[in-house]
């Protein structure tokens, strides 16, 4: 991840530049590798860089040959090589950065440029000739992005990767909507992402194609291995992260074998010394051909939890099965509690579920970065797409099930994507999420929701993803992706899986900090957004220590549907205690 700030139509750009640099410095944790800025007319772009691709030449803001177009980007463009090869008009690229392709796309397609990008991104582009700014965010909102306005500077508009960059200047801030593009020429924001599954009223009837589902997801994981720095996988031991780790490990081993063969044939420019370091060997390009990437001699996997947590036990088993170099990290309840105010500062949220899950992820990210790893794959998005949360057991109809999956996917930028992006970016670590690939979403969201629904005694949550990778049934004799009991393991929300004592400790400490009297008298500035538990109240007070009340409008609190529970934990749902019989759960409904 990187950090960006864009300021457009400020009254005196030269005088305002020091303020803009202070603004972007607030998110330097996202991009500790380099800082850059661009100023022209009444516009300032500022950038804090985390170098993953084009390490030696991708400093930002990026500009075209005559510097009439400038670009500040946070993200990764996975199809940049294909775009470079297929541009209708020749373009002189200054860098090897994957993000530079946005400039020629804008020159060709204007505000439609984001439609051609496959990746995760937030960007601000300035066209000097037209004195025009366009800003856009990836389809699901994997990268964080905000837009703000100041009553003291009418007509000015501001953009930033994080709230903390804007609130000292802006008195109105919104979360920039995913899949949208803003155009200063018309001062409008429009949706460019228009997938076939967007309308929840159009319930799909296409039966699941297990082979297509598996192959599309494998492709999604492979393209996210695009990197020139050491990478790893976050492995909780649940289905989603375990599948990501399994595919990544298969690809890592394949890349290593291909690299060795390439060197033996004398086709590689890399040396044996490079091989030993795991640097500059081969990977898959977008057209299926080999291209240079970096890989580690062994795929690193990382897990965290309290001692003897459910997730860490499962993660160790998966890592041993796959052969990854596993790092099992533990944290104490005291360490988690001590980190809470910092977690809330980086998350920019007071949502209970998000904070519970983000704290161990925040602690783990710090340890990962200390090891020299700069990018990790993570498993966010699957539960929203396939109805993986335990409350989906209560879905009354397939239509309701489908509507809820779409609602959850559309709001990921306010929950799990926000958590994954900001918990890792707090330490200059980048998280990539294969489940939220555009092509995979198109396949997964167009499956008849009847095939996704949970049927007691027959189909457990995320049944079709489990079956798609159960090659013992679909392809007898094929090498299994995961151990049987992990492939069919019951859902644990991350905040539960790191150890049940974690949530219990949070509730107990909230009791010490929030009195019954405080609950009866919430702060007037909270309006109708009243915390419904002492834990929620405690988090809101910590949020208020860092941010003014206006920032609360960007926060959404996570609550399950079809449930009367007040605690959002999966463990609070009665079905959590059900013991599944492996044989019964794999029956076809």
Q: 495 and 361 in contact (C-beta within 8 Å)?
A: no
Pick the catalytic residue: 2, 7, 99, 551?
A: 2
- The pLDDT assigned to 55 comes to 76
Maximum Cα–Cα distance for the chain, whole Å?
76
Sign, Cα dihedral of 215, 221, 226, 231: negative
Compute the distance between CA of residue 180 and CA of residue 188 in angstroms, rounded to an integer. Answer: 10
Compute the distance between CA of residue 417 and CA of residue 509 in angstroms, rounded to an integer. Answer: 27
List, in order, residues 6 or more apart from 385 with CB less than 8 Å away: 405, 409, 435, 441, 444, 445
For the stretch 47-95, pLDDT in tens is 999 887 877 766 899 999 999 999 999 999 999 999 999 999 999 999 9
Q: 459 and 451 in contact (C-beta within 8 Å)?
A: no
Compute the distance between CA of residue 459 and CA of residue 370 in angstroms, rounded to an integer. Answer: 42
Q: pTM here?
A: 0.92
Q: 466 and 413 in contact (C-beta within 8 Å)?
A: no
Compute the distance between CA of residue 202 and CA of residue 364 in angstroms, rounded to an integer. Answer: 41
Contacts 24+ apart (CB under 8 A), 275-283: 278/230, 281/255, 281/256, 282/255, 282/258, 283/225, 283/226, 283/255
For the stretch 487-532, pLDDT in tens is 998 766 554 667 678 999 999 999 999 999 999 999 999 999 999 9
* Adjacent-strand bridge partners of 326: 301
Low-confidence ranges of the chain (pLDDT < 70): 57-58, 266-297, 491-497, 499, 565-566, 568-589
Compute the distance between CA of residue 376 and CA of residue 368 in angstroms, rounded to an integer. Answer: 9
- The pLDDT assigned to 256 comes to 83
Q: What is the distance of C-alpha 102 from the center of its chain?
A: 21
Q: 343 and 350 in contact (C-beta within 8 Å)?
A: no
Compute the distance between CA of residue 304 and CA of residue 498 in angstroms, rounded to an integer. Answer: 7
- The pLDDT assigned to 263 comes to 74
234 labeled binding residue: yes
Q: Which domains does the chain have, with CATH numbers?
A: 3-191 (3.60.20.10), 210-577 (3.40.50.620)
378 labeled binding residue: yes
Q: What is the dihedral of CA 25, 30, 32, 33, to 10 degrees?
A: -120
C-alpha distances (whole Å) from 326 to each of 237, 251, 256, 311, 505 are 12, 17, 19, 14, 28
Compute the distance between CA of residue 217 and CA of residue 440 in angstroms, rounded to an integer. Answer: 6
3-state DSSP of 230-248: CEEEECCCCHHHHHHHHHH
Compute the distance between CA of residue 315 and CA of residue 234 in angstroms, rounded to an integer. Answer: 10
304 labeled binding residue: yes
- The pLDDT assigned to 9 comes to 98
* Beta-sheet pairing, 430-432 with 375-377: parallel
Closest CA to 391 of 533, 586, 572: 572
Contacts 24+ apart (CB under 8 A), 543-551: 543/344, 543/348, 543/349, 543/350, 545/341, 546/164, 546/341, 546/344, 546/345, 546/348, 547/163, 547/164, 547/167, 547/348, 548/167, 549/525, 550/167, 550/171, 550/172, 550/173, 551/163, 551/167, 551/173, 551/348
551 carries an active-site annotation: no
Secondary structure element (H or E) that encloses residue 534, with its range? helix 534-546
For the stretch 531-572, pLDDT in tens is 999 999 999 999 999 999 999 999 998 888 887 766 766 555
């Amino acid at each position: 991840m990187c950090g960006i700030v864009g300021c457009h139509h400020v009254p005196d750009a030269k005088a305002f530049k020091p303020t803009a640099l202070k603004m972007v410095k607030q998110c330097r944790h996202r991009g500790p590798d380099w800082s850059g800025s661009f100023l022209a007319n009444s516009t300032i772009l500022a950038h804090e860089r985390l170098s993953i691709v084009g390490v030696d030449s991708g400093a930002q803001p990026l500009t075209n040959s005559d510097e009439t177009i400038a670009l500040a980007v946070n993200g990764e463009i996975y199809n940049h090589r294909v775009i470079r090869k297929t541009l209708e008009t020749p373009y002189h690229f200054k860098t090897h950065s994957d993000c530079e392709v946005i400039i020629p796309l804008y020159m060709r397609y204007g505000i439609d440029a984001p439609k051609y990008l496959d990746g995760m991104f937030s960007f601000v582009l300035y066209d000097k000739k037209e004195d025009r700014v366009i800003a856009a965010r990836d389809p699901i909102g994997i990268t964080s992005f905000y837009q703000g306005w100041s009553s003291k500077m009418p007509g000015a508009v501001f953009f930033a990767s994080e709230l903390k960059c804007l609130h000292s200047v802006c008195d109105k801030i919104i979360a920039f909507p995913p899949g949208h593009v803003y155009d200063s020429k018309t001062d409008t924001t429009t949706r460019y992402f228009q997938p076939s599954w967007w309308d929840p009223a159009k319930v799909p009837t296409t039966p699941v194609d297990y082979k297509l589902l598996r192959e599309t997801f494998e492709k999604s994981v492979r393209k996210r291995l695009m990197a020139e720095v050491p990478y790893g996988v976050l492995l909780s031991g649940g289905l989603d992260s375990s599948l990501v780790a399994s595919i990544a490990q298969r690809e890592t081993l394949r890349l290593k074998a291909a690299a060795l063969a390439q060197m033996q044939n004398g086709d590689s420019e890399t040396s044996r010394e490079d091989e030993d370091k795991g640097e500059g060997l081969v990977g898959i390009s977008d057209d299926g051909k080999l291209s240079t990437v970096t890989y580690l001699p062994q795929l690193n996997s990382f897990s965290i939890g309290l001692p003897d947590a459910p997730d860490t036990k499962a993660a160790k088993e998966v890592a041993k099965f796959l052969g990854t170099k596993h790092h099992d990290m533990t944290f104490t309840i005291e360490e988690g509690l001590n980190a809470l105010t910092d977690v809330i500062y980086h998350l920019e949220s007071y949502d209970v579920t998000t904070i519970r899950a983000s704290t161990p992820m925040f602690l783990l990210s710090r340890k990962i970065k200390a090891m020299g790893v700069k990018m990790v794959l993570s498993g966010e998005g699957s539960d929203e797409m396939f109805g993986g949360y335990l409350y989906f057991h209560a879905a009354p109809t397939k239509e309701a099930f489908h509507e809820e999956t779409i609602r959850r996917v559309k709001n990921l930028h306010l929950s799990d994507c926000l958590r994954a992006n900001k918990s890792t970016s707090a330490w200059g670590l980048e998280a990539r999420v294969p489940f939220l690939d555009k092509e995979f979403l198109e396949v997964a969201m167009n499956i008849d929701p009847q095939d996704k629904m949970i049927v007691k005694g027959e189909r457990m949550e995320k049944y079709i993803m489990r079956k798609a990778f159960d090659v013992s049934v679909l392809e007898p004799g094929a090498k299994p992706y995961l151990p049987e009991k992990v492939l069919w393991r019951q859902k644990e929300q991350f905040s539960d899986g790191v150890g049940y004592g974690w949530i219990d400790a949070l509730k107990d400490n909230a009791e010490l900090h929030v009195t019954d009297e405080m609950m009866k008298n919430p702060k007037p500035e909270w309006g109708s957004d009243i915390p419904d538990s002492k834990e929620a109240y405690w988090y809101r007070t910590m949020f208020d220590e860092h941010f003014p009340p206006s920032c609360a409008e960007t926060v959404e609190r996570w609550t399950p549907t079809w449930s009367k529970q007040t605690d959002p934990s999966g463990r609070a749902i009665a079905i959590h205690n059900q013991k599944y019989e492996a044989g019964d759960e794999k029956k076809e409904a």
